[in-house]
Homo-oligomer: A and B are copies of this chain.
Amino acid sequence: MASKKSTNITRHDGAVTRSDRARVLGQRGCLIWLTGLSGSGKSTIAFELERRLTDDGFAAYVLDGDNIRHGLNGNLGFSDADRAENIRRIAEVGKLFVDAGIITITAFISPFRTDRDAARKLLAQGEFFEVWINTALDVCEERDPKGLYKKARAGEISDFTGIDSPYEAPLSPDCVIDGNSGTPKQAAEQIFKLIDGRGLLSAPSNEN
């Protein structure tokens, strides 16, 4: 049966506020938006960070191709309009997760500035972190974990970011990860410190 988890919680009336959620979770929600080429390490770093946060008792969740493309965005293709709608929906879901107080990490190439800027605009100041996983194209192509670069070079895939479709590097990211050297663990630690430094990993003390 349910046990009241906090003894210092009192009854409230009215809608649950962001601060109520922050007190329950001991954290503030935010959207950590990873962007970078295919093979740059986004997903690996996202799951490393999710692991790091969870191990420390924080509520974190990764939105990535696996849980989005097969579900919510399963009815989208790869036309320009569908790619934009793909990112729009991810950003809107991210906003709901942040509202719920979750530290949310997205791992999508998201090559276009206009889409990333639209995502940022959905969130409040201090809730959105654009993190550029800056891995050189030749490093990504050398890794080629899914064999996609090979297919793109062979012309079997078109509009592939970095090959025949542009990647628009962030102009003023909140954080840049050197994806050429360094481990995913180090990258996750760098992002962990960023959001910790902004006070997101503790409950608010004196507000309603």
A residues neighboring B (CB under 8 Å): 1-6, 9-16, 20-21, 24-26, 47, 50-51, 54-61, 63, 67, 71-72, 75, 85, 89, 92-93, 95-97, 99-102, 122, 192, 196, 201-202
Contacts and interface: CB of A to CB of B under 8 A. Distances in A.
B16 A50 contact: yes
B2 A202 contact: yes
Contact of A15 (B47, B99, B122, B192): B47
Among all A-B residue pairs, the 6 with the closest Cβ atoms: A5-B57, A2-B201, A72-B92, A61-B100, A6-B57, A71-B92
Nearest to A100: B61
Residue in A54, A60, A93, A99 whose Cβ sees the most chain B Cβ within 10 Å: A54
A47 B93 CA distance: 20
Contacts of A122: 71
B102 A58 contact: no
B2 A56 contact: yes
B201 A1 contact: yes
Given A1-B202, A25-B59, A20 B54 contact: yes
A201 to B, nearest CB: 4
Contacts of A75: 85
A59 B100 contact: yes
Nearest to A5: B57
A51 B4 contact: no
B99 A51 contact: no
Nearest to A97: B100
Contacts of A11: 55
A9 B97 contact: no
B21 A54 contact: yes
A136 B129 CA distance: 48
Residue in A13, A71, A192 whose Cβ sees the most chain B Cβ within 10 Å: A71
A91 B71 CA distance: 10
A152 to B, nearest CB: 28
9 contacts: A1-B201, A9-B56, A16-B47, A21-B54, A59-B100, A61-B96, A71-B95, A89-B89, A97-B100
